[in-house]
Structure 1
């Protein structure tokens, strides 16, 4: 581990040196005053040092800490970070001539760490991290710390205006996360979270609730966060259809649009053609039920087909919905949606006297309009997650999984295949419709162009990328696909290229998704006998705990 210690020390020291002659990225030209990239390098160095020291100090005690693979992952990631930093300095400062000693020291430290990982003597973990237990107070404190760190990471990431700093920060977080995962840390955290599910749920929602209070009234950052939540809640509904029931729906955005149009038409907007303005709770229910009704209409004749044929039919439905909204303009059909102009000037929500369009001050901190809608969507997200979790763990959820695995075998075992398919379509559509009613008020306008096929593709990608059938995975996938384009606008011309490259890499190296269920891990790695044995041991451990 000598090379690991040397590499970590060099990364740590590099953060105290100058990285550029030019005052870029928060002025990284100053020595002994680390900012942005310099701090990231120091974090990587600290992580490498901890892993290197843990090989001899921690691994023999707890038995599950795999320092060798972790050091190799940190070496590869640190090298990529240092090389990308060098490119960023060259681009922003006008050439490599303007790169100072700090970035080169970081590169050398990363390469030394990589060499240490390659030459590290394999040390096989004697215990599976999933089976290790600590006192409950320690595990609860660890979960609380992880939630607090996640909140700090999200707040810092959204606050970065410089795209290079944002990208390199994500690289740093990714490298540290990968290193800890290779060491087995997240296996232990997953086990602790399984034993304290309620603590994890409360901690996650507490961190999400506190997020607006970390943005100092920033409307831009909260607008991005609210858009991410709307996208995530819609993806949770699609996860019922695709992740649980295994039905490939390429027109799901139409259900979100249906709810949005219901919310817009019943909102009291000047361009609305219906003079009835019920309370928003009633409007949300109507929007959800209308979307579910559309799901039943589409599902009844089409769910008797499957696979590629179902995908084509749902794709056609999405386009039919968009074109229908175009034609309901009073010329080609009833005057209901105002045609291509859509419903505009939608007023802000007012629920129980609370005006979501006004700025409110809580504990001396201003909550902007976007923050108000963020908190509303957070409440809806909690409800959606509860519905998804309950259905997933119910007899209905097991029926959906059986249909996804083998439809004919499920039918032979007495599962009502058609009925459960229809329920999945209608249930997912209902959740999307409710989210659409909030989206209409937040966007203040609804037009047919907002609900194109590309949006359905991104929703499906969020489910697949995050991990089909999981809650945390879908939310993480939605965050990645919605946040990245917003923060990397200078890559706008290459957005689809980067998106496609990301999917190719994911399908190659982690086809089960970022956060995958154990069942799907085995499906995609059925030849991995070691993984099968580990998962079997974990299942036995869980069964023993429940007894």
Structure 2
């Protein structure tokens, strides 16, 4: 028997050499090309893009951008600022603390996507490219030139030679990985507070603009430019700096967010858009309640929308509706407590026998509960069962709430602005959302919240450390159900009626269990702002793109697959999730001095 020694060389070490640019341009020429292309695309928005007003947005005016031209202008200006900041211009260096090149590429891609979509939509709806005016070609050529210049810039991070996609797709994917921003110099407290206020003010403006888009073409362009622009701002390091400031001034940030949300109904002149805002808050509040169950405790609940239905039905039965089979009329506070308490009781009743299950078994049982609730509400019609819920007809004609003589169903003048019915319910739901956020935050930071996280990570280990897993899981289930019931009481009055079809596992109209779970995963499990952002996106997009209702579930599935592939931790992820989903899994190996510099040797003996 002879022993042989083999040497294994680790070749996965990341090289600090920059990647070969896709476009063979010197860095200075590439940056100049990106600057010139962005400027040309911006100038093109002041020229006419088409000759007829049949395309929405009136893109026929020279010297006054409108519709999709405004989105191209904003994207071009942002890309231009990022590109110019790479020259080290004093006063613009703060724009890119995390890297100067990746934001340029992402911004240029957003401009190209928005402009290309606009040109394609004009050609498709008006019958050919002959309907395009010179301004459209100028902006399109400028956007393409900006992308070419951005692709010629070196990457912001060390290059990995083992990347299987070293060319265009790898270059774009590399731009999506942001380095840590440079340490910012300390600013006075008043300046940091002003930055926080400006950040939330910008967020309010973007959100209000997205809801107020009047036609689908403009909303699709808004999604393109906002998606790439938000990613570019994130990769530039600005969002991390803003997050650091909000963490430092947490109470100020919470107050600024609340004030910005209060201002939203005063920015809308159409009652329909304020109603969308109210429904988004209902959806977001329920998603935040589900985040207690899924994000903190790690319990996969596929029938969570049933708790929303329990609260809604309970409030409808005591609302004084002529079709209510109970025939009572509770005041507002009593109706809210009735809905929340009914959902809490159902949460305990359902959770007590089922929470001894884990994983897929628990998910199947909760899915069954959601379907049982819907079928039961449909059968309590006086024929198949007792006459309680009017069966498939539901409980219509739910009267508007009245709080201290203030009727939420009537318009009121506040500071010279007419606040409509939808605005009234939006502000009341905003108060409920603030309460739910406070409950979630206090729960997550308490001993119980840390115990939930321990159960989520490893229930067996948590039990071995003395944590009563069943009791704490039941508490999470009951708390999540109570928060959903709280939102359900408002939903019943906002929609005037409740029917069994509103509370399904999946459907084309949220809220339903599938969309609620997706909102938590999309936004970021275990965070506060994540489910709020995810719920806003998942409700707003179907509401604005109703012409794509037939393909909604298909697009929904594709979006989830892309999310799981490229950002499994969600849009707003905590530090734990980022490390969990992006760790390399490689162990550090002592360097073998006998090998060439930069290589690692591992001696492996074999017979």
Say yes or no: TM over 0.5: yes
1:389 alignment counterpart: 441
In structure 1, what is the Cα distance between the partners aligned to 2:256 and 2:101?
32
* 1:217-366 equivalent positions in 2, closer than 5 A: 218-366=270-418
The answer as to 2:117 corresponding to 1:84 is yes
Cα shift at 1:127: 8.9
Q: Say which SS state the counterpart of residue 382 (structure 2) adopts.
A: coil
2:24 alignment counterpart: none
Relative to the length of structure 2, the TM-score reads 0.84
Q: Give the one of 450, 456, 468 matched to 1:404.
A: 456
Q: Deviations over 1:109-139 (max 9, x none)?
A: 2222222222113455999437434332222
Cα shift at 1:269: 0.7
1:478 alignment counterpart: 535
Preserved CA contact (<8 Å) 1:130 1:190: no
2:133 alignment counterpart: 100
In structure 2, what is the Cα distance between the partners aligned to 1:433 and 1:512?
28
Q: Deviations over 1:434-477 (max 9, x none)?
A: 11111111111111111111111111111111111111110110
1:19 alignment counterpart: 49
The answer as to 2:170 corresponding to 1:117 is no
In structure 1, what is the Cα distance between the partners aligned to 2:253 and 2:35?
34
My pick for the range that moved more, 220-229 or 175-184, is 175-184
In structure 1, what is the Cα distance between the partners aligned to 2:73 and 2:567?
29
* 1:190-201 equivalent positions in 2, closer than 5 A: 190-201=243-254
Cα shift at 1:64: 2.8
* 1:44-193 equivalent positions in 2, closer than 5 A: 44-57=75-88, 64-123=97-156, 128-129=180-181, 131-132=183-184, 133-193=186-246
Residues 393 and 131 (structure 1), Cα distance of their counterparts in 2 relative to 1, 3 Å cut: farther
In structure 2, what is the Cα distance between the partners aligned to 1:94 and 1:86?
12
In structure 2, what is the Cα distance between the partners aligned to 1:171 and 1:422?
42
Preserved CA contact (<8 Å) 1:58 1:65: no
In structure 2, what is the Cα distance between the partners aligned to 1:517 and 1:261?
36
Cα shift at 1:58: 5.4
Residues 446 and 203 (structure 1), Cα distance of their counterparts in 2 relative to 1, 3 Å cut: same
Residues 401 and 374 (structure 1), Cα distance of their counterparts in 2 relative to 1, 3 Å cut: same
Greater fraction helix: 1
Preserved CA contact (<8 Å) 1:68 1:122: yes
Preserved CA contact (<8 Å) 2:394 2:497: yes
Residues 528 and 221 (structure 1), Cα distance of their counterparts in 2 relative to 1, 3 Å cut: farther
Relative to the length of structure 1, the TM-score reads 0.93
Residues 144 and 38 (structure 1), Cα distance of their counterparts in 2 relative to 1, 3 Å cut: same
Q: Give the one of 484, 498, 504 matched to 1:452.
A: 504
Q: Which runs of 5+ in 1 are unaligned?
A: 530-547
* 1:193-212 equivalent positions in 2, closer than 5 A: 193-212=246-265
Residues 130 and 207 (structure 1), Cα distance of their counterparts in 2 relative to 1, 3 Å cut: farther
In structure 1, what is the Cα distance between the partners aligned to 2:89 and 2:317?
62
In structure 1, what is the Cα distance between the partners aligned to 2:304 and 2:182?
37
1:420 alignment counterpart: 472
Q: Give the one of 496, 503, 507 matched to 2:560.
A: 503
Which protein has the larger Cα radius of gyration, Structure 1 or Structure 2? 2
Residues 61 and 232 (structure 1), Cα distance of their counterparts in 2 relative to 1, 3 Å cut: closer
Q: Deviations over 1:138-163 (max 9, x none)?
A: 22111111111122222222221110
Preserved CA contact (<8 Å) 2:98 2:180: no
Q: Give the one of 457, 467, 489 matched to 2:546.
A: 489
Cα shift at 1:520: 0.7
My pick for the range that moved more, 238-247 or 286-295, is 286-295
Cα shift at 1:91: 2.1
In structure 1, what is the Cα distance between the partners aligned to 2:318 and 2:388?
11
In structure 1, what is the Cα distance between the partners aligned to 2:385 and 2:254?
48
In structure 2, what is the Cα distance between the partners aligned to 1:158 and 1:447?
27
The answer as to 2:572 corresponding to 1:515 is yes
Q: Give the aligned length.
A: 528
2:60 alignment counterpart: 29
Cα shift at 1:242: 0.5
> What's the RMSD between the two structures over aligned residues?
1.8
Residues 219 and 527 (structure 1), Cα distance of their counterparts in 2 relative to 1, 3 Å cut: same
Q: Which runs of 5+ in 2 are unaligned?
A: 1-30, 159-177, 507-511, 587-607
1:463 alignment counterpart: 520
1:538 alignment counterpart: none
Cα shift at 1:399: 0.6
Cα shift at 1:279: 1.6
Preserved CA contact (<8 Å) 1:260 1:440: yes
